[in-house]
Amino acid sequence: MAKDMNFKQELVGCFGFPVAENPTQAMIEPAFEALGLDWRYLTLEVKPENLEKAVNGARSFGFKGFNCTIPHKVEVIQYLDGLGSSAELMGAVNCIVNRDGKLIGENTDGKGFVESLKKKSDPTGKSCVIFGAGGAARAISVELALAGCSKITIINRSIERAKELIDILEGGVAQACSQSLSTQMIEWNDNYNIPIGTDYVINATSIGLYPDINAKININISSLTPEMIVADVIPNPPKTRLIRDAREQGCTTIDGLEMLVGQGVIGIEYWTGKNPNPEIMRDSLEKIFSA
């Protein structure tokens, strides 16, 4: 008996430059397979001067969506048809979704982080200390505020960059929040003492990323106390020095793989409408990073 046959795969992917070290394909394709989807996630090197052509290429090939990584997260916006609400507040996009032929920019970095946090704690009314003011810090702080955190302190080496983020938080984000939001910024030059009463401590800088795996983050480790949740965005290696130190202090921890898996889960849900298995995704990444 003749069977229905379909040799056409659906396409998604990641545009970046450089992009060869981006491990996302290794967690997304096993999740597709487990869902029974014959989809492909292509890791595509796109130079900045080719970004517009690449976006048009994705339209022509009928991509269901794609991720954008460094250096495209802001530049890609001008080539899209619209933005999700938190991406609009952040002014940065890392996940594009084809919705009825329109390419809509979303930001899943912070959403993925908040989803992994919510498995351990309810963000409502919480006080957060965030190190960094770049793309990751921006995505995380906006989503934490939208999830109900009431106090956000941004600590960054460059105070100008911290000020840009504080302006975003005190502007559209505060207006979009249902709770009152208090913010503070601190120039980071000394060993920082985490204030008593802090609920979440988050490294959103690139300190600790391979190959500088033993780089010391300027925090007074003895000021970390067991009731705090300590998170690190660094996925490679996942057991950063900060995560190890925080565990020794008795803190609950969230590593960079949880955030990576969290944003991957949301991306797959946006693209396919199906719920992937996060354990399969994490296992695939752990195999890579422990090899």
Binding site for ligand NDP (CB under 6 A): 109, 132-137, 156-158, 161, 205-207, 209, 233-235, 256, 259-260, 263
Q: Are 98 and 44 in contact (CB under 8 A)?
A: no
Q: Angle CA(156)–CA(185)–CA(245) in degrees, nearest 5?
A: 50
CB of 69 to ligand NDP, least distance (A): 8
Q: Is 239 a catalytic residue?
A: no
Of 116, 204, 103, the C-alpha closest to 153 is 204
Q: Which is nearer to ligand NDP, 105 or 256 (CB)?
A: 256
Q: Which is nearer to ligand NDP, 47 or 163 (CB)?
A: 163
CB of 156 to ligand NDP, least distance (A): 5
| Beta strands, E only, the chain | 10-16, 39-45, 65-68, 82-83, 95-99, 102-106, 127-131, 151-156, 182-187, 200-203, 229-232, 252-254
Q: Which is nearer to ligand NDP, 61 or 210 (CB)?
A: 210
- Cα separations in angstroms, 223 against 117, 182, 198, 205, 214: 21, 22, 10, 19, 20
CB of 143 to ligand NDP, least distance (A): 12
Q: Are 65 and 77 in contact (CB under 8 A)?
A: no
Indicate the DSSP class of residue 17. S
Q: Which is nearer to ligand NDP, 150 or 156 (CB)?
A: 156
CB of 178 to ligand NDP, least distance (A): 26
DSSP helix/strand/coil, 273:
coil
Catalytic one of 3, 8, 64, 73 = 73
Q: Are 127 and 145 in contact (CB under 8 A)?
A: no
Using CB positions, name the residue nearest to ligand NDP. Answer: 134
Q: Which is nearer to ligand NDP, 99 or 216 (CB)?
A: 216
Structure tokens at 126: 């919480």
CB of 155 to ligand NDP, least distance (A): 9
Q: Are 105 and 84 in contact (CB under 8 A)?
A: yes
- Cα separations in angstroms, 267 against 21, 78, 90, 261, 273: 19, 21, 18, 10, 10
Residues carrying an active site annotation: 73
